[in-house]
Amino acid sequence: MLQVQIHVADSTEAAMRTARRGHDELTKLLWPNIIRRNPALASRGPFTLEERMGGKSWIIGTPEQARDTLLEMQSELGFEALVIFPHLPGMRRVETIEQLGRFWADIRPALAARAPAIQPVRPACDTEVCAAGRRGPGESRGGRKLPSPTLAPPTEAQL
């Protein structure tokens, strides 16, 4: 699994300009805990946005740049799951929804096309567990099958 902050805009400069404030605010909040967990970092200042972009923990740029960076990381690391954080401190809800929409339309299709076909594996039911009436994977109370989760964009009501 790969976890990244992501922020896209029509140009790299615009993406960096809008992401910087949220990055700096989040860094101020988290830096004391980072130092506590890794005291060797206490002698340096907090990581800059540019350092985090260079380390690819923050992917900031155009949708095409973000897509290409994630495809490169997918090839290099072979991740099968991706967790993105498209919301930065100071962003309004509508801006976060826009970021999710841009990711869904401009970046996700290329990642999905490269992802290996993964079939969910349903474990065999242990007869003692089934006999005791406990639910198996994908079953609701009463033994009804639950629908398989699908990968669909979130609706505004879900956000």
d(CA 49, CA 5): 11
- Check residue 4 and report its DSSP letter: E
Global pTM value? 0.70
Instruction: Decide if 60 contacts 53 (C-beta within 8 A).
Output: yes
Tokens for 27? Answer: 């860094």
pLDDT at 159: 56
Predicted confidence pLDDT, tens digits, the chain (159 residues): 999 999 999 999 999 999 999 999 999 999 999 999 999 999 999 999 999 999 999 999 999 999 999 999 999 998 888 999 999 999 999 999 999 999 999 999 999 988 766 555 555 555 554 444 555 555 545 555 545 444 555 566 655
d(CA 103, CA 105): 6
Instruction: Decide if 62 contacts 11 (C-beta within 8 A).
Output: yes
pLDDT at 79: 86
d(CA 65, CA 86): 15
Tokens for 73? Answer: 């990381």
pLDDT (tens digit per residue) in 17-47: 999 999 999 999 999 999 999 999 999 999 9
For residue 87, give the nearest of 149, 4, 11 by alpha carbon. Answer: 4
d(CA 42, CA 44): 6
pLDDT at 150: 47
